[in-house]
A and B are shown apart, each in its own frame.
Chain A
Amino acid sequence: MFLSFLRILKFSAQDIARNIWLSLVTIIILILAIFTVNILLVVKVVGNTAVDAIKEKIDINLFLKTNADEKEIEILVSQIKELPNVKEVNYISKAEALENFKLKHQDNPEILQSLSELGQNPLTPTIVIKPANIDNFKDLENHLNSINNTIIESRNFTNYQIMLDKINQITAKVNDAGMFLSSIFVFISLLVVYNSVRVAIFTHKMEIAIMKLVGASNSFIQMPYLFSSLVYTFFGMAFVVIIFYPFLSLLQPYLEAFFVGYKVNLLNYFYFDHFVTIFGVQFLLAAFINGVTSLLAVRKYSKV
């Protein structure tokens, strides 16, 4: 059994070596297919990060009157905390608001100069409310609108839902395009693997005929070609793992610049946190699909 297995490996190696250019083309097409699938995954991760980043930023500001009594503010904060779908309520006093403002514009001397020329703190105290679930944002908005308190000067309800919907739409469209592109590459790679096995069988036509003549089992005749397709998949996957690292390294600074303040580390995501799940599953799936394709080709063309 072990001896037969070793001989299958030997015949498979011969098959790859004798059709080396065809083997290389097969591997390159597989690389393109797997690479495209991973690009699609990157788009998905980036899209999810963008959506999470926006969700993180979504809050409702209640601007209070400058002369509002601290006691009244405390009562109002407690009242808001009792509302459904409220995750967090932060009260920012006039002084804190000024500090934050100065910190935010520390690099802009003109604004700071204008502020000092005013001679007083023009900012109002604010209550910042973060919703628990963005899908029920409208309900929370209604609840907050129903609070009739004289210390509330104004309410800021930016419609984040539109922005989220747009991002979701763009991500879905990119995913669709990626899926389409991936499907094309996967289909091409299937055809190429099928053709590689077919050509390999033709180049071994006489050997196969002799094997059959002398009583070699069908599995022994077919296994080397199945094994070759596994080798193609392995090398294709290995190259993707190697070339995807520098690709993500190049992409990473741009993502970090875009998502300032948010954790988006694709290298960690692909190579440390989900390495086995992403590349392992991709290898198994690709090996399975290529195996089935090879089996179909072998069954069809090894009848010498």
Chain B
Amino acid sequence: MIQFRNVIKIYSKNVTALNRINLHIKPGEFASIVGQSGTGKTTLVKSMIGEEKIDRGKIIIGGWDVTDIKQNEIPILRRQIGVIFQDFKLLPKKTLFENVAFAMQVCGGSTKKIKTIVPHVMKIVGLQNKMDRYPQEVSGGENQRAAIARALVHRPKILLADEPTGNLDSLNANEIIELLLRINKFGTTVILVTHNREIVNRLKRRVITIDNGSIISDQEVGRYIL
């Protein structure tokens, strides 16, 4: 599903974000990428969605070599990879429904399709009763659920979660992880980027540990070792 072959990304002489990364994530897998701040986790995520160009190596996603992806191909790639972030990235002047619908509108989705799919994904994330609320009227956990719903509207094969629990209390964080596990059960490959030791240890899934831009550990059923 996702392959990194000898990927190198150098920002400056003294900053090597990714140093000979070799990685293979199988379809339907749930993998956690862990590491301390500034170790290259986010660069890894950004390089997968074409936001960051790598200097050397190859990145192959679903058989598609995205290493030198053209500008006009990036939107196509991003519709196949759902991404959620720590800060939710929801528009404050739109309701949760409108926020999720926005992702379909800007990609040319028909009104009929939007009216069918959006309530469906809102139900999956458990927000079917709060669709008309604005982001500031619901909890952080619910905002993150809305962000997940938005990431799911294009039925992506991969869901990238970059520190999704960073702004949440432990209760909400657990709910989000449960939701990610449920999405993974449907067959979506989930990549969780986090430095939350407790969550990683409880998951008992694959853990890839990055330090100073290099993979220092890759365990099938791993623990947070840093």
The finding on whether chains A and B are genuine partners in a shared complex, rather than unrelated, reads: yes
Is B150 close to A, CB under 8 A? yes
Q: Which residue of B lies closest to A211 (CB)?
A: B106
Asked whether any CB of chain B lies closer than 8 Å to the CB of A207, the reply is yes
Chain B hits for A207, CB < 8 A: 91
A sample of 9 inter-chain contacts (CB < 8 A) reads A206-B91, A210-B89, A213-B78, A214-B102, A214-B103, A214-B154, A215-B77, A215-B79, A218-B72
- A212 on interface, CB distance cutoff 8 Å: yes
Q: Which residues of A contact B106 (CB under 8 A)?
A: 7, 211, 214, 216, 220-221
Q: A215 touching B72 by the CB < 8 A rule?
A: no
Question: CB distance B91 to A216 under 8 Å?
Answer: no
Query: Does B201 have its Cβ within 8 Å of any Cβ on chain A?
Result: no
State how many angstroms separate the Cβ of A293 from the closest Cβ of chain B.
21
Identity of the chain A residue whose Cβ is nearest the Cβ of B90 in the assembled complex: A210
Q: Chain A's nearest CB lies how many Å from the CB of B66?
A: 13
CB distance from A220 to the nearest CB of B (A): 6
The answer to whether residues A213 and B107 also contact, given A218-B71, A218-B72, A218-B75 and a CB cut-off of 8 A, is: no
| Given contact pairs A214-B79, A216-B75, A216-B106, a sample of 5 additional A-B residue pairs in the complex whose CB atoms are under 8 Å apart | A212-B75, A214-B103, A214-B106, A215-B77, A218-B75
The answer to whether B110 and A3 touch across the interface, beta carbons within 8 angstroms, is: yes
A127 to B143 Cα, complex, angstroms:
98
Smallest CB gap from B72: residue in A: A218
Judge whether B37 is part of the interface by a CB distance below 8 angstroms. Answer: no
Q: Mark B22-53, 1 if CB is under 8 A from A, else 0.
A: 00000000000000000000000000010000
Query: Does A145 have its Cβ within 8 Å of any Cβ on chain B?
Result: no
Interface residue? A4 (CB, 8 A): yes
Contacts of A217 in B (CB 8 A): 72, 75, 107
Chain B interface: which size bin? 20 to 34
* A216–B89 CB distance below 8 A: no
Instruction: Please name all residues of chain A whose beta carbon is closer than 8 Å to the beta carbon of B153 when the two chains form the complex.
Output: 214
Q: B111 on the interface (CB 8 Å rule)?
A: yes
Kindly identify which residue among A1, A210, A212 contacts B102, using a CB–CB cutoff of 8 Å: A210
Q: What does DSSP make chain B's interface, helix, strand, loop or mixed?
A: helix
Closest to A7 in B: B105
Q: Using a Cβ–Cβ cut-off of 8 Å, how many residues does chain A contribute to the interface with B?
A: 18
Q: How far is the CB of A295 from chain B (nearest CB, A)?
A: 15
A209 located at the interface, meaning its Cβ lies under 8 Å from any Cβ of chain B in the complex: yes
User: Which A-chain residue is minimally distant from B85 (CB atoms)?
Assistant: A213
Residues of B within 8 A of A215 (CB): 75-79, 103, 107, 154
Q: A214-B79, A215-B75, A217-B75 are in contact. Are A3 and B108 (CB under 8 A)?
A: yes
Q: Decide if B61 is an interface residue (CB 8 Å cutoff).
A: no
A contact residues around B103 at 8 Å (CB): 210, 214-215
The one of A4, A209, A221 in contact with B89, judged by C-beta atoms closer than 8 angstroms, is A209
Q: Which residues of A contact B159 (CB under 8 A)?
A: none
Q: Is B83 an interface residue (CB 8 A)?
A: yes
Chain A residue, CB-CB nearest to B109: A3
Contacts A206-B89, A218-B72 given: A212-B78 contact, CB under 8 Å? yes
In the A-B complex, the 9 residue pairs with the smallest Cβ-Cβ separation, listed nearest first, are A215-B79, A215-B78, A216-B106, A214-B103, A215-B75, A211-B106, A217-B75, A4-B108, A215-B107
Expressed in whole angstroms, the Cα–Cα distance for A211 and B103 within the complex equals 7
Residue of B105, B151, B153 with most partner-chain A CB within 10 A? B105
Question: How many angstroms from the CA of A162 to the CA of B77 in the assembled complex?
Answer: 74
Chain B 57-69 per-residue mask, 1 if CB under 8 angstroms from chain A, else 0? 0000000000000
Query: What CA separation (Å) do A212 and B154 show in the bound complex?
Result: 14
Q: Taking CB as reference atom, which chain B residue is nearest A220?
A: B106
Closest to B102 in A: A210
| Binary flags per residue of B106-140, CB closer than 8 Å to A gives 1, else 0 | 11101100000000000000000000000000000
Q: Cβ of B77: which chain A residues have Cβ within 8 Å of it?
A: 215
Q: B100: shortest Cβ distance to chain A, in Å? A: 10
